[in-house]
Chain A
């Protein structure tokens, strides 16, 4: 077994690449082409503008009037001419358009005669067939065809947008070689050049038959001008001048000279070389073009994948992440601000409440002072104690109520800013409870007892007796005399009175200071209570804020983490995809290099400009 030709290797690699890149359509086309290239037959598609002598060219090639020739638009359907041992002909018609769809039998093949076929294709016979003619097939015994040459005459490519042209372009895929017929009386038209450029893209083996050279003595100049035009359009094609008239004349007369002049010897030689050298000459170029267009298509798709780096998913995730971060920052700021606010507010509340309580107690004390300026503590103390306790309790209650109110207000604000999870209130403030106060101690009041009075009176009378006794003694009186005794009594009375006043004053101040002490004690106790409360409230609020902030942060954190994970996984996936794509691209580039090696640079024509960078 001989080694497979290099083009087959490249073709198979490309088919593999198509399959691995999920392009079964391209793979299918290449597989078809592979089958055709391995086939020994050479399918030659004869194309051209109207009235360029396409059918006449086919007729002259096989020396038989098998294709209808006319001066106007003639050929209406492709005619496939190939070798057969006995002349045969068939029409393939598509009845799909006529029969009900459910039982559409698809193309139908009817055997007929060559004459009939050429009439039908020219549209000159009545519609004996059903449906449109898809193609005509003619088999004739010819040495030229026996080697595997298949000629396909096509309807004219007039308007590039027409249906006929579309069919011809579709048929290009089936062709190994294209034979373009162009009239020697005029240079290649712009449209013919456009046609050629399009043809070369799918079928690089092009031979241009300059027909009707018998009509023009200057056909060589036309041929030269055409070659220049082809070179300018970077279409590589052989150009051979032929004359069907001369060829048929030669066939009629058997004149070899005329046959040589007809140019068909060259053309046939050229076609035969293509048939025998199909694998060496035709196939590599065809493969080069087919694979490089396929590779270009694959590369374009891959590039598209590369370009689409940012998927919608990752964009959303990135946005989410950014937003979460922003929210996080905002939350932190807010929390800090609120902690400060709460501390400040609570300090204010504490100061205000204390001040208020102090005011209230001071009023009470003033009241106490005023009362004990007059009253005799000994008698007044009992009712006073009740009054004091009552008033103090009242003041403490009012003050407490105020404290609770302020705390509630603050707690509400906090709750508005940091809503509690279950809608419960942020702080539970205690109800008013009468504080357990120490009993009001009775002041140590000394009542002015009778003994004491007697003692005081004695002490005072002593002085009076002594003083007046001395004075009267001077008058010769005894020390104890009535005067001195009377003075002693007077002095005793005064001393007792003075002593009683002084004692009252002392008792009053005693009562005041006792009351004062009591009030102070009460104040300290209550203010401790309220301080405790406000500290507790503050702590609760602070804890609440911290807890809520933490909860919110946790929430944000989850979102952010998810977003970050999405972004990262997207990026990872992208990197992986890009890596795969890059590798694929590299493989394709390598394949393309092989393709380029396969083809002579000339053969690739305009399509070699595929610059690949992975």
Chain B
């Protein structure tokens, strides 16, 4: 969705091209700009970042639907790109030198990459092609754990420049996480076009000591965070997800299912006793009919909570692999995450791409400022300041962070109309996606438009509030032009 008149991706595209003309004589700048022009056409890049041990790779696996991350050598995780392709393939791009392919294949139904031929310092970037529907619209980038020392800023900078949007995986969503998220969005373009970041609490299953209702708790916590002004200012959404459960649901194999089925058939008191603690379950002698390595494997796969959940589900009648997997995925919160990615990232693909392109352009203009480029720099500033998509994003951020309060009856609608709950027309207008016909949409838009025009001129509102209302009005006008593409040039 873009505003009427200036079409942001077009502007960004044109600016990239004129910059290419200007910096003809600078091979580095040219290379960089070409790269950004190519990137413009590519699928959206979503980076997964976070500190050590918060479940980044598990989350990536759950999203990709393959138990493949982390990719790398022992003690050295590579920056791994996952993209959709017809055939599995792994390509290694060393920092210097020729790219090469690495063997990839399924061992025991599990996709595995063999990087033993490569030295750790050669693993600059590994691109994994995976046939999966989940990556149709985006490329997922799994990053090594963020360092906790002074290198953190550099790592964050690399991640945010490389990607169009970030899934920040945190443990508690506490002050430490918030500080990192703020740092990640601290560059000129981010300030103009703020949040492109979703906070994921990926170990939701460990909340509440592995109780069976842990996921409900986790969702409540995520909801509380979403309501927290500090958190809302730093990210677009907060999602709780039980990574292990989601991964298990997405990648369950037959033998695992069989083992789980066997487990659920064990006498309940005996099983409960065994599932009291990790050590009990993985002890040498447990009378539940599985070997110790099997039990270790299952525990690593599912965790205590996962084991309790799956056995309970199996006993409740979700006793086929498909229904069990579906239940696990549903309960894990993976769907919430996918929806958040779709809503916050994929639907805003054009804006995010334009944003990345402008960020790239900003880098060039800053690193090699020259008089001829002054106009371009001004254009860039104007685009950042005036593009309606960015204005929408800024207003959204302002409303979310509580820096601007609209009257109660307007607040919710404003948030929705500027795309706070999704940028599709029905999402903006709060109409049922399937049922909404063109006429109904049209009516709704016109009603909203006249309502907000009144608000924009309402003398009872403050100047800031009226400005916000004007942005909503423009969003409504944009919707009309989207509904009737012929009406505006």
Contact = CB atoms under 8 A, between A and B. Distances in A.
Given A72-B224, A190-B148, A214 B210 contact: yes
Given A71-B218, A71-B220, A159 B209 contact: no
A162 B172 CA distance: 16
A215 B207 contact: no
Nearest to A191: B176
Given A53-B209, A261-B277, A217 B299 contact: yes
Given A214-B210, A249-B276, A159 B175 contact: yes
Nearest to A212: B209
B171 A246 contact: no
A156 to B, nearest CB: 9
A202 interface: no
Interface in B215-241: 217-218, 220-221, 224
A215 B148 contact: no
A243 interface: yes
Interface string A211-245: 01111111100000000000000000000000111
Contacts of A249: 276
Given A50-B172, A50-B174, A71-B218, A261 B279 contact: yes
B328 to A, nearest CB: 18
B276 A246 contact: yes
Contact of B276 (A53, A162, A214): A214
Nearest to B279: A217
B28 interface: no
Contacts of B477: none
B282 interface: yes
Nearest to B174: A158
B175 A214 contact: no
Contacts of A216: 278
Contact of A186 (B148, B171, B174, B282): B171
Interface in A155-192: 158-159, 162, 183, 185-187, 190-191
B280 interface: yes
B207 A51 contact: yes
Nearest to A183: B206
Contacts of A56: 209
Contacts of A8: none
B208 interface: yes
Contact of B278 (A72, A191, A213): A213
B221 A214 contact: no
A258 interface: yes
Given A72-B224, A190-B148, A217-B296, A243 B277 contact: yes
A214 B209 contact: yes
Q: Chain A interface mostly helix, strand, loop or mixed? A: loop
Interface in A45-60: 49-51, 53, 56
B279 A72 contact: no
Contacts of A191: 176
A217 B286 CA distance: 15
Contacts of B276: 214, 245-246, 249, 258
Interface residues of A, number: 32
Contacts of A50: 172, 174
A250 to B, nearest CB: 9
B207 A71 contact: yes
A71 B299 contact: no
B199 interface: no
A160 to B, nearest CB: 9
A215 B278 contact: yes
Given A215-B206, A244-B209, A261-B277, A72 B220 contact: yes
B303 interface: yes
B278 A71 contact: no
Interface string A236-272: 0000000111100100000000100100000000000
B53 interface: yes
A569 to B, nearest CB: 54
A246 B281 CA distance: 13
B214 interface: yes
Interface string B170-213: 01101110000000000000000000000000010011111000
B304 interface: yes
Contacts of A245: 209-210, 276-277
B368 to A, nearest CB: 39
Contacts of B299: 217
Interface in A14-38: none
Nearest to A217: B278
Given A50-B174, A245-B276, A217 B221 contact: no
A217 B282 contact: yes
Given A158-B175, A215-B303, A217-B282, A246 B277 contact: yes
A190 B172 CA distance: 15
A249 B203 CA distance: 24
B296 A71 contact: no
A388 B146 CA distance: 126
Nearest to A53: B209
Interface string A193-219: 000000000000000000011111111
A244 B211 CA distance: 13
A72 B210 CA distance: 14
Given A72-B221, A190-B148, A244-B209, A213 B171 contact: no
A261 B280 contact: yes
A216 B206 CA distance: 10
B385 to A, nearest CB: 34
A72 B208 CA distance: 9
Nearest to B54: A186
A163 to B, nearest CB: 13
B53 A186 contact: yes
A513 B304 CA distance: 153
Contacts of B175: 158-159, 162
Contact of B217 (A72, A213, A215, A244): A72
Given A51-B172, A72-B217, A72-B220, A217 B281 contact: yes
Nearest to B210: A215
A262 to B, nearest CB: 8
Contact of B174 (A159, A214, A218, A258): A159
Which of A50, A185, A191, A244 has most B Cβ within 10 Å? A185
B194 to A, nearest CB: 23
Interface string A546-561: 0000000000000000
Given A159-B174, A185-B206, A186-B53, A213 B279 contact: yes
Contact of A214 (B148, B224, B278): B278
Interface in A73-93: none
Contact of A219 (B171, B217, B278): B278
Contacts of B279: 213-214, 217, 219, 261
Nearest to A56: B209
Contacts of A212: 206, 209
A124 to B, nearest CB: 13
A70 B208 CA distance: 7
A242 to B, nearest CB: 11
Contact of A71 (B214, B277, B280): B214
B220 A213 contact: no
A67 to B, nearest CB: 14
A135 to B, nearest CB: 24
Contacts of A71: 207-208, 214, 217-218, 220-221
A212 to B, nearest CB: 6
Pairs A-B, 6 closest by C-beta atoms: A214-B277, A71-B217, A217-B278, A159-B175, A71-B208, A71-B207
Given A72-B221, A162-B175, A214-B210, 6 more contacts: A183-B206, A212-B206, A213-B278, A214-B209, A217-B299, A244-B209
21 contacts: A50-B174, A71-B218, A71-B220, A72-B220, A159-B175, A162-B175, A187-B53, A191-B176, A212-B206, A213-B278, A214-B276, A214-B279, A215-B210, A215-B277, A215-B305, A216-B278, A217-B279, A245-B209, A245-B210, A258-B276, A261-B277
Interface of A: 49-51, 53, 56, 70-72, 158-159, 162, 183, 185-187, 190-191, 212-219, 243-246, 249, 258, 261
